[in-house]
Amino acid sequence: MAKIELNKTYKGNCIELANTLENESIDCIITSPPYYNSSHKYQRGTGFHYTADVGEPLYVIQDVFEALKPKLKEDGIICLNLGFSYGETGVMRPFDIVNRLREKGGYFVNDVVIWHKNNPIPMQNRLTNAIEYIFILSKHPIGKYYTKKYTHNVWKFSVDGGGKGHSAVFPIDLPLNCIEHFTQENDVVLDCFMGSGTTAEACVKTKRNFIGFEINQDYIDLTEKRVEKFLNNFTEPSLFGNEM
């Protein structure tokens, strides 16, 4: 494969694509991996739903971050957005994944951000699930921070309203806030599960470079349209999202 170019999304298996990156070329990784109902099944052995140690997303995340570790700069940061589903994956899913990255991958957990959703889907007979996590990981005990203001680790903003051709779009405030606190202008940000391109849009809005990996060509087309639309209508943006 040719050398990876900046500000482009590549189609393919994220693990294979990770191996094409140059070592220590990525400043920050901002991503939200797929849930168990992903149309592309990554798994080892007999992966079953409900099983904390076998399910395919747990392993694809472990494998891709193993491949990405030498590609991340020594002071680089990973912002890993993980949620859970009562019915499918269980409340411990995010912690099972992060513990695997700590124990098997050698990553350090620098911080845990709680994303408090302003508009969660109401539930009956259970507590309404109104949170997701953003785990801040690095190759060393302390990664780089660019926080210049007093900031809580509870970020409040709404779930994306949809309409972007993807069933699980995270709101642009999520990558914008990660970009603000863990990157500088011209840094290279990777989203190894790009989806419909929210991370890419956040990067072009804030003068960061992005690289995307995505297995679905329809989503790659959506990402290109989002970036093109922003650039065609460019005015100096308000760089970052909601106050936290």
Nearest-angstrom CA–CA distance, 155 and 170: 13
Q: What is the pTM of this model?
A: 0.85
Arithmetic mean of pLDDT, 163-171: 60
Cβ atoms 29, 182 nearer than 8 A: no
pLDDT per position as a tens digit, 102-114: 999 999 999 999 9
CATH assignment of the domain containing 43: 3.40.50.150
pLDDT per position as a tens digit, 176-222: 999 999 999 999 999 999 998 999 999 999 999 999 999 999 999 99
Burial tier of 241 (Cβ tally within 10 Å: 0-12, 13-18, 19+) = buried
Number of domains the chain contains: 1
Residue 238 lies in a domain: no
Nearest-angstrom CA–CA distance, 215 and 15: 11
Query: Phi then psi for 17, rounded to 5 degrees?
Result: -65, -35
Residue 244 lies in a domain: no
Domain span holding position 86 = 8-232
Tokens matching residue 110: 């620098």
Residue 242 lies in a domain: no
pLDDT per position as a tens digit, 58-92: 567 888 999 999 999 999 999 999 988 776 557 88
Residue 243 lies in a domain: no
